[in-house]
């Protein structure tokens, strides 16, 4: 299969990218890793008139950058760089754990962290991690930059909050704080397949207990979040927690049927994976 005709652009700076999008807007697509876009082109699911290849931007970081509050990923930081990074392992352990579930090694060699967020696939791991952690993206256009919180980033399946002349130039994940714990769980038919259901859990100290954010993938048109109110760590291990989370899942998640699983089965998975992830996360954050 061959992609539709397009005009190819190879900018060397972020300003050039912004200028091209200001000129061509919705008629253009950004190419970074290409692990999602190229198949979509070949299947004629995407028909851009202009392809903007950012792989030749000058001076771009190939590794995540550590700041005071954030670990920042530029547009050309590959998945493989993140999964081999000591900074990510120590400062964003939830992302570090989730990366091993992302597709296959060959895809992680080319795919980018920013590209995964920009693609906004509700069945993908990294958008759920960003949502659980409360990260943010930096959008750039010829008009300047703006910051978009993860809660406002994902609008629908494969749809993000970028305007027609904007592109995603960075993604920021908050650094781990003292006492926080994290866990990632998913279930798929085979290693590397899209998950039937997955969950990213972030546990944070609150008073004398812990609260947990569960961000689910594969069960909605965007990452779906459930907040578990603060309670002592021991209550997460009690059998009653299973029933409580089951009630929350049935009240707040509306999984859809697809060719791989029914919504009812995804709800079944959401309860069991959520309990497992929450318990691991609070145990990781629990003081010794």
pLDDT of residue 72: 98
Q: Residue 288 pLDDT > 50, yes or no?
A: no
One of 3.40.50.720, 3.30.43.10, 1.10.540.10, 2.40.110.10 is the CATH number of 7-53, namely 3.30.43.10
**Residue spans in the chain of domains classed CATH 3.30.390.50:** 181-285
Q: Are 210 and 282 in contact, with CB atoms under 8 Å apart?
A: yes
% the chain with pLDDT above 70? 99
Average pLDDT over residues 236-259: 96
Q: Residue 84 pLDDT > 90, yes or no?
A: yes
Average pLDDT over residues 179-195: 93
Q: Residue 1 pLDDT > 80, yes or no?
A: no
Average pLDDT over residues 232-255: 97
The encoded tokens of residue 284 equal 């990781």
Q: Residue 208 pLDDT > 60, yes or no?
A: yes
One of 3.30.365.10, 3.30.465.10, 3.60.15.10, 1.10.357.10 is the CATH number of 65-174, namely 3.30.465.10
pLDDT of residue 192: 83
- Count the Cβ atoms, other than its own, within 10 Å of residue 25: 14
pLDDT of residue 287: 56
**Residue spans in the chain of domains classed CATH 3.30.465.10:** 65-174
Q: Residue 40 pLDDT > 70, yes or no?
A: yes
pTM score, two decimals?
0.96
One of 2.40.128.20, 3.30.390.50, 3.30.1370.60, 3.40.1380.20 is the CATH number of 181-285, namely 3.30.390.50
């Amino acid at each position: 299969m061959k992609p539709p005709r397009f005009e190819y652009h190879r900018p060397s700076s972020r300003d050039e990218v912004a200028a091209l999008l200001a000129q061509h807007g919705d008629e253009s697509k950004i190419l970074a890793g290409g692990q999602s876009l190229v198949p979509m082109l070949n299947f004629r699911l995407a028909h851009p008139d202009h392809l903007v290849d950012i792989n030749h931007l000058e001076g771009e970081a190939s590794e995540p950058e550590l700041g005071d509050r954030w670990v920042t990923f530029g547009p050309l930081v590959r998945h493989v760089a993140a999964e081999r990074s000591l900074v990510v392992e120590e400062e964003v352990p939830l992302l570090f754990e989730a990366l091993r579930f992302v597709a296959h090694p060959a895809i992680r060699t080319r795919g980018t962290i920013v590209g995964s967020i920009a693609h906004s696939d509700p069945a993908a791991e990294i958008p759920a991690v960003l949502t659980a952690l409360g990260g943010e993206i930096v959008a750039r256009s010829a008009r300047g930059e703006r910051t978009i919180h993860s809660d406002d980033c994902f609008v629908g399946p494969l749809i993000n909050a970028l305007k027609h002349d904007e592109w995603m130039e960075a993604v920021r994940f908050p650094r781990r704080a003292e006492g926080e714990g994290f866990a990632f769980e998913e279930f798929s038919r085979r290693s590397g397949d899209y998950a039937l259901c997955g969950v990213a859990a972030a546990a944070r100290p609150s008073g004398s207990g812990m609260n947990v954010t569960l961000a689910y993938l594969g069960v909605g048109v965007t990452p779906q979040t459930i907040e578990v109110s603060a309670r002592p760590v021991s209550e997460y291990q009690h059998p009653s927690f299973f029933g409580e989370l089951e009630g929350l899942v049935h009240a707040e998640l509306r999984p859809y049927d697809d060719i791989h699983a029914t919504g009812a089965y995804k709800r079944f998975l959401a309860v069991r994976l959520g309990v497992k992830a929450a318990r691991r996360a609070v145990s990781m954050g629990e003081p010794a």
